[in-house]
Amino acid sequence: MGKVIRVVFLSASFLFLCARSLTVIGNLHQRRPTHVRASCSKSMPATSATVSAIDKETHDIDTTSTSQFQNEYTIREALYSELQVIASLVTAGFHPELDSNPILRPIRVLLELDRLQNNFPYPGGENRHLYLVCEAKKDKKVVAFCDIDARIPAKKKENPFSPFASIVNRPHPYFSDLTVDPNHRRKGIASALVEEGERRAKEMNCQEMYLGVASTNTVALDLYSNMGYEIIVPTGDILEFVKRQEGVRMLRRTLIE
């Protein structure tokens, strides 16, 4: 009888842990702190909140000269084989509260990896979507990442059966997911990625660049302000896009006068 009770107890405990794990995973997938972005759709994440992971700890003030930066780092397009590293980097930048959690952090990394893989801009496409990385020349390590997306998805109401359609169009080109390895901050990497993103956007004949920043992230707001970005009053689709975020301010910079 005692053995039966133990088996029943262990089975019930196992089922409870499974249910709890599924709940936690679901919460991780849906919960978005005010300073992060969430891009979870498998096609065009037009309703996602994509915000830079720059705060008081990650403020990437340029203390490195241009020549020194070029000697130490290079900026290029990401490779598919690097997405695991990038997922870990993004998790560290946007979810630092999970750094000491050996259970939830790997789950978060897998969610980021899935998102990055499903949205990966393969070479030979329309070339209006880019994953950029900054690589340290010394050890060939990816130390920073950002996403520039200039694609124009169809609205769901225009094509309700398209997997690429979305309810709300986000502004484009949209600069997001900017994060820098803690060991390589304050070396101008964030600024360099923004500038390279702007250069690539100009090559796509884009006249503006948009990005989102948490309204409480004053350091990031100051950084982008110094780079020529202005907070805009959202209207139309941009208003609907911002409404779906938590405390995000939309910024814009004119690239081509």
> Average pLDDT over the chain, rounded to whole?
77
Query: How would residue 22 be classed by pLDDT, with cut points 50, 70 and 90?
Result: very low
Beta strands in 150-224 (DSSP E): 174-180, 208-214
Say if residue 229's pLDDT is above 80. yes
- Range with lowest mean pLDDT among 5-14, 64-73, 131-140: 5-14
Beta strands in the chain (DSSP E): 73-77, 129-136, 141-149, 174-180, 208-214, 230-231, 248-254
Distance CA 173, CA 171 (A): 6
Give the pLDDT mean for 124-139.
88
Q: Which of 251, 202, 204, 247 is nearest to 227 (CA)?
A: 251
Q: Which residues pair with 130 in a beta bridge?
A: 148
Q: How far is CA 89 from CA 168, 180, 196, 212, in A?
A: 28, 8, 19, 19
Q: Which residues pair with 129 in a beta bridge?
A: 149
Distance CA 155, CA 193 (A): 30
Q: What is the pTM of this model?
A: 0.73
Top pLDDT among 161 and 123 is at 123
